Amino acid sequence: MRNMNDILRQAQVMQNKLAKLQQEMAERTYEAASGGGMVKAEVSGKQELRKLTIDPKALEGGDVEMLQDLILAAVNEASRIARESMEREMNAISGGIKLPGMF
């Protein structure tokens, strides 16, 4: 039973590390830009949009569809960066084991 107790203790330690990492990641921000920096998006580690900056020059042409595409590109890229960062750090803690519901 000693081995089982060791395994349970190690699982508890890993669970604590993962919970701490999730909290830290939620406080981090990730930024991406599109259109040569005309649109910038900032998301949290939870992939929630925190800030969207649009350069006034992006509005000059009046092309709404282009602006929409730039916004989507910036937000999606920032979210991708946040997600990959979280996965990388989770894998470092879990040894590459995929844990359901973690990311």
Domains of the chain by residue range: 2-94
How deeply is 101 buried, as exposed, middle or buried, from its count of CB atoms within 10 A (0-12, 13-18, 19+)? exposed
Topology annotation, domain 2-94: Ybab; Chain: A; (3.30.1310)
Interval 84-93: pLDDT, tens: 998 888 888 7
Question: Is 0.85 surpassed by the pTM of this model?
Answer: no
Using CA atoms, how far apart are residues 77 and 72, in angstroms rounded to an integer? 8
Interval 60-70: pLDDT, tens: 888 899 999 99
Q: Which of 48-57, 59-68, 72-81 has the lowest mean pLDDT?
A: 59-68
Residue 4 CA: distances (Å) to CA of 10, 22, 93: 10, 27, 20
Nearest alpha carbon to residue 47 among 69, 30, 71: 30
